[in-house]
Amino acid sequence: MPLVLLIDDDEALARPLTVYLKRFDLELESATRPSAGLARLAQGGIAAVILDVMLPEMDGFEVCRRIRADPDLSELPVLMLTARGELTDRVVGLELGADDYLPKPFEPRELAARLTTILRRSRPTASPVLRFEGLVIDSVRRQVQRADELVELTGTEFELLLLLAREPNKVWTRDEILNRLRGQDALDLHTRAVDILVSRLRRKLEPLDCIKTLRNAGYSFAGARV
């Protein structure tokens, strides 16, 4: 889930926005002062920034300048917010390298849509074929090849393998897997279904041992990329 940092001195904004963005699989952290926001960015792990223009310590334009001047942050997507509607503010923000601009007050749904768009643009295009030692997963043809042999998988088994293999070593809880495979309604299902699905998939991938169980945590993919 992409982690977005909100830098805005309006303390009442972060909580409802955090709840709303979760509907779009976006996680939100917040900082009310630019210094705190820049310190958080330096720690890494942020996928995009929502940046207010009117801030204490320094305005959002200066924060944007510092982000773009930092080699580790220069490609970070920035969406700027302002209560001011002057065209010159928008032009300045975009000239400084902001990816998008949204005037306050804004509709949360529009903010979510714009964030999703700039995140999609900034994300490198994933290869449709994942290659690991002894295993090839073709997401377009929906084929799995173990060594030189095609593996027959059900649609759900394939989706599970693809989910795990796209982020090797990431630990997925059973609820997260259910949620990704079948949508929000999956939370009503018993998580034992995931254990059964993983067991079937493991048998079909033998002798490969690439799906690991982490006790009391979930499952992860441990294949080595080639």
Under CATH, what is the fold of the domain 3-122? Rossmann fold (3.40.50)
Nearest to 223 by CA among 128, 135, 143: 135
Supply the pTM of this predicted model.
0.56
CA 137 to chain centroid, in Å, comes to 22
Distances (CA, A) of 91 to 76, 87, 100, 103: 19, 6, 11, 13
**What ranges do the domains of the chain cover?**
3-122, 129-221
**CATH for the stretch 129-221:** 1.10.10.10
CA dihedral 217, 172, 123, 63 (to 10 degrees): -30
Encoding tokens for residue 126? 């994933």
* pLDDT tens digits, one per residue of 51-92: 999 999 999 999 999 999 998 888 899 999 876 666 666 677
Instruction: List pLDDT tens digits, range 31-62.
Output: 999 999 999 999 998 999 999 999 999 999 99
